[in-house]
Amino acid sequence: MYSISASYLGDQCGGTPYAINIFRDNNCSIETCSPSSNTSSADMRTVDCASDYIQAARDKFGSSPYIIELVFRDENCSDFGMGYGYPASGTCVGGYTANDSYYVIASLNKDGSASLELYPDRSCLSESLYSVESGDKEAVQTHECDANWFKWYSSNDAGDTSGSTLTSGSVSGDSSSAALSNGDILGIILGSFVFLMVFLVAVFLRLRQKLKSNASTIDSLSATSAASIEAAIRGQTGLWNDDIITTKRIPRDKVQTEKLISRGSFGEVYAGIFNGQQVAVKMLLSASRDNITLVNEFLAEAKMTATMDHPHIVSFVGVAWDSLTDLCVVLEYMDGGELRSLLNSYLESKKPVGFDREKATIALQVCHALTYLHSLMPSIIHRDLKSRNILLDKNMQAKLSDFGISRERLDRTMTAGVGTSLWMAPEVMLGEHYDDKADMFSFGVVLSELDMHTLPYARAKKENLDSNGREMIDSILLQKVALGKLQVEFSNPKPRSIGELGRACISIDPTERPSAAEALYRLQVILSKRRIV
């Protein structure tokens, strides 16, 4: 049995889905229309269960053009891994993969080939292109296994009846019934014309109503006073009136921004000054500041960070705004930068691999932060732990940051596939249930980074080249990780070492991973020794 999950934009599950995901799931359960956890564009989703997953995916797209990509675990394409489907619109849409959330341009080309361009942000700008997956004309037409262990299907397939509720027998008959009189033809034409006119009038009235609504919304957001903006958003979200946000609000004119530190898909961080103290100022990108959804998510992250109180979590200073365009979150300034930058410098200077006291202490401090998060009621799962989200101060004290996709663990387990793929636990990759042990897998990957200085799976990518000399693509690499065929490296996995702890953290079975508290104890024991191993 297979699970076919379709994601939709808006609050309903009608029309063409923005993405379809296919997984093997013997315990599949049907969902009619429920909120989606996708972090790109889709808001609602349905889940169908079927043995013929290809036809089930075709039916979801109906008469719209589409591309379906099936990913297999072997070169003969006999062991199914997962599948994706996208509308072949040639435009940027929010697409979800098991590895991460991306924005996708799916295209059926004139030469019969198909391509999927993956981007990390909703602009789908060429300079931010993450990867391209494509099938040539033969692969798309024959559905044969290609060199990347993919199979391709599309709306161009001959005899495709997806979306149709009629069998072939329902439109065919004997020769006498197939012939139509001139009167029949005229009646059909007139009936179609009347239907078309009614349809066009309905569309016109609907568009006019929508334009009036949009104009009203734009007018309400154009005012720059804090009061008018809060009023516009209050009716939709309430976060602007949230007690935590309002009590942490600081004067916007007291916050000064200086040089740019970093820029991501939706936001940027500046060095700044508040009340004479150096701070980090986090803001949305200018193109995102009038998007209520993104503003809301930004405030949700601010609220989450504001509730944290731990010496190894970046401190929250306040949130400030005079208008929607200058909303910012003010955080503790970490002048040591990202852990990833430090490890890159170690790599360039050829610093010996392994754990010294400094690196072991960083691991201990990160584990302190995880233990704190997981001990809260309800516990908080970070869900995006990686070296870039671990910041250092001038004294090399490590602090955890970036709670943009963290969630309170209100349910026993969750299934939202979010995070950064190379650090992600197998159960999250596969869309399965997960808990705080997913953070421990990511922590194990971070321990490998601290040990080896390289990005995760760097050696595996270089040593597993295809016939064209290209490095292993992420989709294949992550399949191997999910199957336990590939792991991050450690220089010294001996008993009672940090390497051994790291290996335990990256166990495929979440129950075999230590808890944050258990890992913390083991690190404390190791650090109590004179010699770090």
DSSP string across 458-495: HHHHHHS--TTSPPPPHHHHHHHHHTTS-----S---T
Going 248 to 251 to 256 to 262, the CA torsion angle's sign is positive
How far apart (Å, rounded) are the C-alpha atoms in residues 258 and 137?
52
Q: Which residue is listed with tokens 């297999």?
A: 72
Residues β-bridged to residue 4 = 22, 48
Alpha carbon 9 to chain centroid, angstroms: 16
Contact 314, 288 (CB under 8 A): no
Is 384 one of the catalytic residues?
Answer: yes
Please compute Rg for the chain using Cα positions.
27
Contact 359, 351 (CB under 8 A): no
Contact 381, 407 (CB under 8 A): yes
How far apart (Å, rounded) are the C-alpha atoms in residues 118 and 99?
12
Q: Which residues contact 111 (CB under 8 A, 6 or more apart)?
A: 137
How far apart (Å, rounded) are the C-alpha atoms in residues 356 and 129?
38
Q: In what order do the strands lie in the sheet with 66-72?
A: 31-35, 44-50, 2-8, 19-24, 80-87, 66-72, 150-154
Residue 254 neighbours by CB distance under 10 Å: 13
Residue 520 neighbours by CB distance under 10 Å: 20
3-state secondary structure of 310: coil
Catalytic residue among 384, 402, 435, 474: 384
- The residues carrying an active-site annotation are 384
